Amino acid sequence: MYRFQEEIDSCIDCKKCWDVCPVNMVTDGNRFTPQGKIESLAKIVAGEELTKDEYDNIYLSTRCGACDDVCPVSIPIIDIIQYERELLAQQGREPAKTTAISNNIIEHNSPGAKDPSKRFDWITDDLDIAESSEIAYMAGCWVAYSQPDIARATIRLLNHAGIRPMILKEEKCCGLFLLDNGHLEQLAEHAKKFVDYIESLGVKKVIASCPGCYMVLGKEYPKLYRELGFEVELSLNVFKDMIDDGRLKPKKLDMTVSVRDACPVRDSKAVPRSILESMGIGINELFDGKQVCCGGPAGLKPNFPEIADDIAMLTVKGYKDKAEMLASYCPFCVHHMEGACKSKDEEMNIRDISVLLAESVLGGKD
């Protein structure tokens, strides 16, 4: 019996996973269902040839978890997809783009091999950043290189609440892409280096802006390496506590938004909504509150750009008859959807919740 065979054999063919999968939503003929993905495992374990659709289907997933959430017999579909990718990589059958991005993370510390000397270009003179502190701020690749206003808003809010965080001068990519693509040995080695470095600074808490970083550091590093000597917290959770205890006092912003929820923290959707409500912002739910991925993660965007962009359009078009803007708390969603809008010639009005909160509490715009 191979790993996961028992779970796959327990499938009752209910097709519930078909309906929630964003890839299946934007492609015809139910060619790329979550159920189809897990049914290929036996062939992959045996090293057999896959048809083109079967092979593509393994990489046509953002590992958003929507299928896991609805499977009535709790088949760990995203773990199986990760395992299939791990096996295909070991068999030398991984897509070249996936290998290239994985190597960028290991060799250059970011998926896009960005210049490490520019990682902290977001820092401006008004930000009060300590040389050393028990609290460290981790911007993450997408914020550091393409959405610096989120990092600045976060530090300004922390400063306002009396916290002077340090930065991690040797900040690394969290490695979510490695996790999604089954590069677990590489990620374990990466985690060891990053964790040892953070602990050597005497840091007791890392505050992350990106839900992906938060999930990978806080939940996956302990599994892949060891228990961490520091806590990991998502910046939104910190802000919610600060609003609750009165350290941050939001003022009303007169607007209505739809929320672009982040898949890695889809079990704590109340937090962003509570922060928006504290600013008097109206919320009209997208997809009736159901989770539909932005379409970018786990290699879907580089390997299948048209499908990834079509999934992004579900959000970009979906919010327009509900609200004047999208409120996001995932920099990768924003990055992917902005790219999709450019290729589809669409407009999108999107703001990050940390940036909105800084505007509400501190006044002015970045």
Which positions touch ligand SF4 (CB under 6 A)?
11-17, 20-23, 34-35, 37, 61-67, 70-73, 75, 77-78, 293
Closer by beta carbon to ligand SF4, 68 or else 94: 68
Closer by beta carbon to ligand SF4, 101 or else 308: 308
> From CA 218, how far away is CA 191, in angstroms rounded?
11
Residue with tokens 């708390």: 329
Cβ at position 266, least distance to ligand SF4 in Å: 11
Cβ at position 26, least distance to ligand SF4 in Å: 10
Cβ at position 184, least distance to ligand SF4 in Å: 18
Instruction: Tell me the CA distances in angstroms from 358 to 63, 160, 354, one per residue in order.
Output: 32, 10, 6
Residue with tokens 């299928």: 67
Residue with tokens 């999930």: 215
Please name which of 220, 222, 202 lies closest in space to residue 211, comparing C-alpha atoms.
220
Closer by beta carbon to ligand SF4, 7 or else 352: 7
Closer by beta carbon to ligand SF4, 54 or else 171: 54
Residue nearest ligand SF4 (C-beta atom): 61
Please name which of 215, 237, 238, 211 lies closest in space to residue 333, comparing C-alpha atoms.
211
Query: What is the pairing mode between strands 205-208 and 231-234?
Result: parallel
The alpha carbon of 53 is separated from its chain's Cα centroid by a whole number of angstroms, namely 26
Cβ at position 315, least distance to ligand SF4 in Å: 14
The answer to whether 271 and 236 are in contact (CB under 8 A) is: yes
Cβ at position 40, least distance to ligand SF4 in Å: 12
| DSSP structure class, residue 139 | -
3-state SS assignment for residue 157: helix
Closer by beta carbon to ligand SF4, 16 or else 273: 16
Cβ at position 251, least distance to ligand SF4 in Å: 38
Residue with tokens 């509570």: 274
Closer by beta carbon to ligand SF4, 8 or else 326: 8
